[in-house]
A and B are shown apart, each in its own frame.
Chain A
Amino acid sequence: MAAADVTTGGNPDRATTPEAVRRAYIVGGNRIPFARTGGAYVKSSNQDMLTAALEGLIARFGLQDERIGEVAAGAVLKHSRDFNLTREAVLGSALSPETPAYDLQQACATGLETVLGLSNKIKLGQIESAIAGGVDSASDAPIAVSEGLREILLDLNRAKTPVQKLKIIGRIRPKDLAPDAPNTGEPRTGLSMGEHQALTTAQWKISRDAQDELAFNSHRNLAAAYERGFFDDLITPYRGLSRDSNLRADTTLEKLASLKPVFGRNLGSEATMTAGNSTPLTDGASTVLLATEEWADEHKLPKLATVLDGEAAAVDFVHGKDGLLMAPVFAVPRLLARHGLTFEDIDFFEIHEAFAGTVLSTLAAWEDEEFGRDRLGLDGALGKVDRAKLNVNGSSLAAGHPFAATGGRIVASLAKMLHEKGTVDGRPARGLISVCAAGGQGVVAILEAA
């Protein structure tokens, strides 16, 4: 456990006293198919989609009129009127209206963080059941008035006399009328997420071919999972869609190779990131049902997996010390060390495909001796991820990535995979989840088959 002393922020002894806390089980999940922006869900709001995913979960597990311990979900692109998004979705669902709920937001890690936060409450004995989730709509994104117009409108609201009001209205200039739409730019750097990743992709010398191959595998694996009915008990159709609309089952490496680069075109090195090896803007929602063993048994519901533990990390990306989306690179070794685990002990790797370059840069960093020594405080490289265990049922490049909904998609799918796998060498099958997020953050987690 020498490495653990160097890399854990917390107490390494924690892993040796699991008896003190209860286990949090994943009972199952439900999501709606993810739709490319401007597609099937173009007029559906975040609340509509989250409610649809929740209603499917309620129907699947017979939760009508059930008072759940707590529901937590969130959205990254969120209207200010949706301050109580999750609670409103609960009130619009068949759950007992006496079910409390809260909103959470941690960029693309939102969904996974709701699972970890609620699992911790279950482990601590605060609640017996919980629903975690997330939703995002790039189609129905909030658009704000310009900062100039906003200040004028607020002043106008405070004005008392008609003369004051006229004076304030006279301050409006044509440029104030331009709306302020959300974008994926980092506030501190002005670079879009794609441009940030292009820097990292170039830094780790990730080839165009390798990125296209990862994207190809994502589509192939997701299509195969649909074909064998893997998603039959994980998805409820919505608005006429029964599969993720971004999925291209017939895509080929040649087609992917023919796409023009869209990010990193102003870098000195070759631009390698295309619309094919980057995730598109997507609309969708996901939910996960969590419970104690007793609650699941009482309700005659399955126990697919347990939430073993999670870890968050952040990197100093602002001046380029690390890449924007590289925080999981640091979170994973800390989490593994806390439990005395190595990559050999992991049977499924679920690394969120924000961009193919993100996954490949992450893997490259873990395989790098020097990086392992200098940055991770290890004896050498963290290890090599067996590609046969990576995103075996597809990931965000094929499914799409409605920001806050991705965590729930991955947790529910991985829990099912672990349950099907059962045990490996006499121990429960294990899966590692890694999700990068804006702001240089990342959240990772380990699930174990139940």
Chain B
Amino acid sequence: MSTPQPVVLGELPSLSRLYVNAAATAARRRVLGANPGGTRLPAVSHEVHNVRADVENLTAYQHLVGETASDTLPAGYVHALAFPVSMSVMNRDDFPLPLLGMIHLRNHVEQRTPIHFSEALDIRSWAGNMTGHRAGTQLDITAEVRSNASGELLWLGVSTYLAKGVFLPGIDKAGSASGASAPADFSAPDPTALWQLGLEIGRSYATVSGDFNPIHLSVLSAKALGLRGSIAHGMYLASRALADVGAAKSEAFTWDVGFEAPVFLPARVALDIATVQSESGTWERSEYVAWNPRSGRRHFLGAVSALS
């Protein structure tokens, strides 16, 4: 990939403003009937320097996803911290895909080093790997978080999104068959946990993460975007699974999740977490899978693995 041109933003963009702007852009594009963004991803990266976690917000996040309120930033919290920067990339006028209605297919995180909450962080995000998907067009949004003091890469996240039903000229639609394997393949194991998720969990996670995407906030706002009800944030579900893996994991780890059927709220979610240990008994990996206990449909699956 060519080196993206850096655009340094003065501060973390406001997510609510970005969503309003995205809605306006969507409306404009619907009226104009054209895609002024073209068919290429903008060759830029957005950066915000010297970002620090807010302790009160951190504690609220930790309590919501089931983490102990320690001084180390949960990997999902870093994602939430970097998310406005990623959103600002997807919200550019020259970004070729509609931001609203994009589906989060997969998420990959590398937590290289534990991050203390007081550390000043530099966040950089850019878009890449736009390819065809049988249902539309997918792309990767990468975010990296470095120590402002040393420049060391502490955290790296790659989020894969799908713009459903959007087929751009020149992008091979027969592309990857990645994403979900057929739900028929899945036969639910005995669960190790059962989550009861209330209707309010979308708003609660929006409050701590800043992600006020209307599909998570209420039945009405979700219906306005074509869903039959509000759905849980994928990163809330994945962050809870990460919290469930808990202190067993190593300091440096990778955290992967693939999202399948959305979790409509309120919901009961069955979960199985299995630990894989080395012969000497040290933790190597925890694998998790979550499903709807009534229908047996798989919601998401993934793993937390030691990063050497």
Q: Could you tell me which A residues sit within 8 Å of B by CB distance?
A: 43-45, 47-48, 51-52, 55, 65, 89, 91-94, 97, 237-240
Contact = CB atoms under 8 A, between A and B. Distances in A.
A44 B247 contact: no
Interface stretch (B22-30, B53-61, B130-138, B154-162): B53-61
Contacts of B71: 52, 237-239
A65 B282 contact: yes
A92 B62 CA distance: 12
A92 B59 contact: no
Contacts of B59: 43-44, 48
| Most-contacted residue by chain B among A45, A55, A93, A239 (CB, 10 A) | A239
B63 interface: yes
A45 B118 contact: no
Nearest to A43: B59
A239 B117 CA distance: 8
Given A65-B282, A92-B247, A240-B118, A51 B68 contact: yes
Contacts of A47: 68
A238 B118 CA distance: 11
Contacts of A55: 70, 247
Interface in B38-75: 55-56, 59-60, 62-63, 68-71
A48 B246 contact: no
A239 B246 contact: no
Nearest to A237: B71
A94 B68 CA distance: 12
B247 A94 contact: yes
Contacts of B118: 240
A43 B60 contact: yes
A52 B63 contact: no
Contacts of A91: 246
Interface residues of B, number: 17
Among B63, B246, B247, B281, the one with the most A-chain Cβ atoms within 10 Å of its Cβ is B247
Given A48-B68, A48-B69, A55-B70, A93 B247 contact: yes
Interface string B261-295: 00000000000000000000110000000000000
B192 to A, nearest CB: 13
A240 B117 CA distance: 9
Nearest to A52: B70
Contacts of A238: 71
Contacts of B69: 43-45, 48, 52
Contacts of B55: 43, 239-240
Given A52-B68, A237-B71, 9 more contacts: A43-B59, A44-B59, A47-B68, A48-B68, A48-B69, A239-B55, A239-B117, A240-B55, A240-B117
A43 B247 contact: no
A48 B56 contact: no
Interface in B69-118: 69-71, 117-118
A363 to B, nearest CB: 40
A44 B58 CA distance: 11
Contacts of A239: 55, 71, 117
B239 to A, nearest CB: 15
Contacts of B63: 43, 45
Nearest to A32: B71
Interface in B139-170: none
A419 B73 CA distance: 37
A51 B118 CA distance: 19
Nearest to A89: B68
Contacts of A94: 247
B306 to A, nearest CB: 13
Contacts of A44: 59, 69
Nearest to B283: A65
Contacts of A43: 55-56, 59-60, 63, 69
Nearest to B57: A43
Given A43-B56, A45-B63, A51 B246 contact: no
Nearest to A97: B248
A238 B70 CA distance: 8
Contacts of B282: 65
Contacts of A93: 247
Contacts of A65: 281-282
B2 to A, nearest CB: 41
B13 to A, nearest CB: 26
Nearest to B69: A48
Contacts of B246: 91-92
A48 to B, nearest CB: 4
A93 B247 CA distance: 6
A403 to B, nearest CB: 20
A185 to B, nearest CB: 30
A45 B59 CA distance: 10
- What 7 A-B pairs are tightest by C-beta distance, nearest first? A48-B69, A43-B59, A92-B68, A51-B68, A94-B247, A44-B69, A48-B68
B66 to A, nearest CB: 9
A372 B237 CA distance: 66
B150 to A, nearest CB: 20
B255 to A, nearest CB: 18
Nearest to A95: B247
A45 B282 CA distance: 30
B193 to A, nearest CB: 13
A152 B281 CA distance: 52
A93 B59 CA distance: 17
A92 B70 CA distance: 10
B246 to A, nearest CB: 7
A50 to B, nearest CB: 9
B209 to A, nearest CB: 17
Contacts of A237: 71
A76 B247 CA distance: 26
